[in-house]
């Protein structure tokens, strides 16, 4: 039976930047390329990537045919969590360069037609941020209530049962204030108190600082962590009905709780509306990260609905585990649409926080190349915007990092069951025969995996049949076909192993079908019409009347 995702007239059927709202809605259907700055290109020779290095490589990024770059944190930080522990919201850490380097990067990106999105880590700061230094100095200073402080229980134990994502209690005792402070992540990452209007006002001022420097948008880290329950009530245990959804991760105590009080609070929408008002002043956008395994898609919809909060969100439903079957993909997309019929999603299969899908989805099988092309086809044709992670276009796999070389605190804490995030953060490979793959002349902060060298950019550029050229062709195909950018979407009846849907914008309609199975699949389009196969997307499926035949791990795109 057909499942219709969008029945309303769809006004977003123009090419990027060519709709009734002008360039302000470039993000709707846009493709954003994520850059992890310490691993992209080292220009200073210290083994760590930097802003000048990114600027040097922007022509390559533009050649892919993407709309924007997202730069992970580069602000001053003690680097306990590699930039996600910010000590100054208005600067550039010296290892990455200067504010002048950032301005040059923005200017070059804009010259090349690329928008610039930067990470904003607002839920918490470093314990070295001046705000926290003042807050912990006593209970009567101007910023005493800027962080989440609480008295111990009568027996001296923490105020409640909340747990840290990085292990153990999420409360840390401070002997100066003789109170506990909340940290959802490392003890060196104290949580800001969003219930305090002065905190929200200060954060918005810091966001404005970057808007004034010309950024086009923000990726908001841990959006659903902004508010906590003001009554500090205990989290309940995860209900039996929900346990199966996180069973694979229940080797960590954090996943035994239903996190209804330490995150996912309804008050988050208060700040999102305040932020949206500021963004609208500049015509800027924000995409929120929703770090929630159970209700992630529903929270995405909540935060992106109504036109008064975030422009779009992403969750982790496609960022963990093996390649999902077609039924699961349909379910995730359908859940979002039911939650936010007027909202917009941003989808990704890999990023800096999870193992690369080249390894997660292929398992090192002989079908790896076909599976990677299949994954790209699905990601770039489903309804929503897209984030591509650096090296995804090369098919880089998850690196196997020895324990003694791990630097990620998450990996150190949970080894060996969880190896952390270093395997997805190794340096970009530019030249197969150059030292360290052309990333740096010095020893990199993480070693370049030898198996990545054969997938270096120069090798891929020289091979017309490479995955890199496939991505370029598919991105160009997407941009040339308005239904794939902002068109409506509805699923059509298909065999269990086939994901099939129609994208429609105005009078143009495309049928897209992808075979996730290991044998050839046949799709009967009875009632839909006879599609005309289109060229230029790289898939080998073929149509005979209303019958489509799709090889294993392949696809078909045709015009109705």
Tell me the pTM. Answer: 0.94
C-alpha 45/C-alpha 442 separation (Å) is 6
Q: Is 109 helix (H, G, I), strand (E, B) or coil?
A: helix
Query: Where in the chain are the domains?
Result: 24-125+197-478
**Per-residue pLDDT, 418:** 81
% of the chain residues with pLDDT over 90: 86
- Cross-strand partners of 120: 220
What is the C-alpha to C-alpha distance for residues 174 and 372, in angstroms, rounded to an integer?
A: 49
For the chain, give the mean pLDDT: 93
Least confident of 8-22, 54-68, 100-114, 192-206: 8-22
Q: What is the structure's pLDDT at 243?
A: 65
pLDDT digits (tens, 9 = 90+) for 122-138: 999 999 999 999 999 99
Q: Does residue 248 register a pLDDT over 70?
A: no
Fold held by 24-125+197-478: TIM Barrel (3.20.20)
Distance CA 297, CA 302 (A): 9
Helix (H) or strand (E) holding 296: helix 296-304
Instruction: State residue 527's pLDDT score.
Output: 84
**Percent of the chain predicted with pLDDT > 70:** 94
**β-bridge pairing 554-559 and 508-515:** antiparallel
For 305-360, what is each residue's pLDDT tens digit?
999 999 999 999 999 888 999 999 999 999 998 988 899 999 999 999 999 999 99
Euclidean distance between CA atoms 278 and 318, whole angstroms: 31
Q: Is 47 within 8 Å of 95 (Cβ atoms)?
A: no
Report the 10 Å Cβ neighbour count for 199: 19
Token readout for 508 is 């143009």
> DSSP letters of 466-496?
SHHHHHHHHHHHHHH-HHHHH-EEEE----T
pLDDT at 553 over 60: yes
Residue 221 designated active-site: yes
User: What sign does the dihedral 432-438-439-443 (CA atoms) show?
Assistant: positive
- The catalytically annotated residue of 221, 292, 392, 554 is 221
- The answer, yes or no, to whether residue 239 has pLDDT greater than 90, is no
Among 234, 281, 322, 400, the active-site one is: 281
Q: What is the pLDDT of residues 358-414, one digit of tens each?
A: 999 987 777 999 999 999 999 999 999 999 999 999 999 999 999 999 999 989 988
């Amino acid at each position: 039976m057909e499942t219709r995702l969008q029945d309303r007239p769809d006004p977003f059927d123009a090419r990027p930047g060519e709709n009734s709202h002008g360039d302000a809605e470039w993000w709707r259907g846009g493709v954003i390329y994520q850059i992890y700055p310490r691993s992209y290109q080292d220009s200073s020779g210290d083994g760590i990537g930097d802003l000048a290095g990114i600027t040097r490589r922007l022509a390559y990024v533009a050649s892919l045919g993407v709309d924007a770059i997202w730069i992970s944190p580069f602000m001053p930080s003690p680097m306990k969590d590699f930039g996600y522990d910010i000590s100054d919201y208005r600067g550039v850490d010296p290892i990455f360069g200067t504010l002048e380097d950032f301005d040059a990067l923005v200017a070059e990106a804009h010259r090349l037609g690329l928008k610039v999105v930067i990470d904003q880590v607002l839920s918490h700061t470093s314990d070295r941020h001046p705000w926290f230094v003042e807050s912990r100095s006593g209970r009567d200073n101007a910023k005493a209530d800027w962080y989440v402080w609480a008295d111990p229980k009568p027996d001296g134990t923490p105020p409640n049962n909340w747990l840290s994502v990085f292990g153990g209690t999420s409360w840390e005792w401070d002997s100066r204030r003789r109170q506990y402070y909340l940290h959802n992540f490392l003890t060196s990452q104290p949580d800001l108190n969003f219930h305090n209007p002065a905190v929200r006002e200060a954060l918005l001022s810091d966001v404005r600082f970057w808007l004034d420097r010309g950024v086009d948008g923000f990726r908001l880290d841990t959006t659903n962590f902004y508010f906590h329950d003001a009554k500090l009530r205990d989290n309940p245990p995860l209900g039996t009905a929900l346990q199966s959804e996180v069973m694979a991760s229940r080797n960590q105590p954090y996943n035994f709780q239903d996190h209804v009080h330490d995150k996912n609070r309804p008050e988050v929408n208060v700040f999102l509306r305040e932020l949206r008002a500021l963004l609208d002043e500049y015509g800027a956008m924000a995409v929120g990260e929703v770090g929630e395994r159970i209700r992630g898609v529903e929270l995405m919809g909540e935060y992106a609905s109504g036109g008064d909060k975030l422009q779009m969100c992403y969750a982790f439903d496609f960022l963990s585990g093996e390649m999902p079957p077609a039924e699961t993909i349909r379910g995730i997309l359908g859940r979002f649409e039911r939650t936010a019929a007027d909202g917009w999603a941003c989808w990704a299969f890999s990023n800096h926080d999870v193992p690369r899908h080249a390894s997660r989805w292929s398992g090192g099988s002989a079908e790896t190349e076909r599976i990677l092309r299949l994954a790209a086809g699905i990601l770039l044709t489903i309804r929503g915007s897209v984030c591509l992670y650096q090296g995804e276009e090369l098919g880089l796999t998850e690196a196997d990092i020895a324990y003694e070389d791990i630097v990620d605190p998450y990996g150190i804490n949970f080894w060996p069951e969880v190896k952390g995030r270093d395997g997805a953060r190794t340096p970009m490979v530019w030249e197969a025969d150059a030292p360290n793959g052309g990333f740096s002349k010095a020893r990199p902060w993480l070693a370049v995996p030898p198996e990545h060298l054969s997938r270096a950019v120069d090798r891929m550029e020289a091979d017309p049949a490479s995955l890199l050229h496939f991505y370029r062709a598919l991105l160009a195909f997407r941009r040339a076909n308005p239904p794939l950018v902002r068109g409506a979407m509805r699923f059509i009846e298909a065999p269990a192993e086939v994901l099939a849907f129609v994208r429609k914008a105005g009078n143009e309609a495309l049928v897209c079908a992808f075979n996730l199975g290991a044998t050839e699949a046949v799709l009967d389009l009875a009632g839909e019409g006879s599609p005309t196969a289109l060229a230029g997307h790289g898939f080998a499926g073929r149509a005979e009347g209303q019958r489509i035949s799709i090889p294993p791990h392949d696809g078909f795109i045709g015009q109705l």
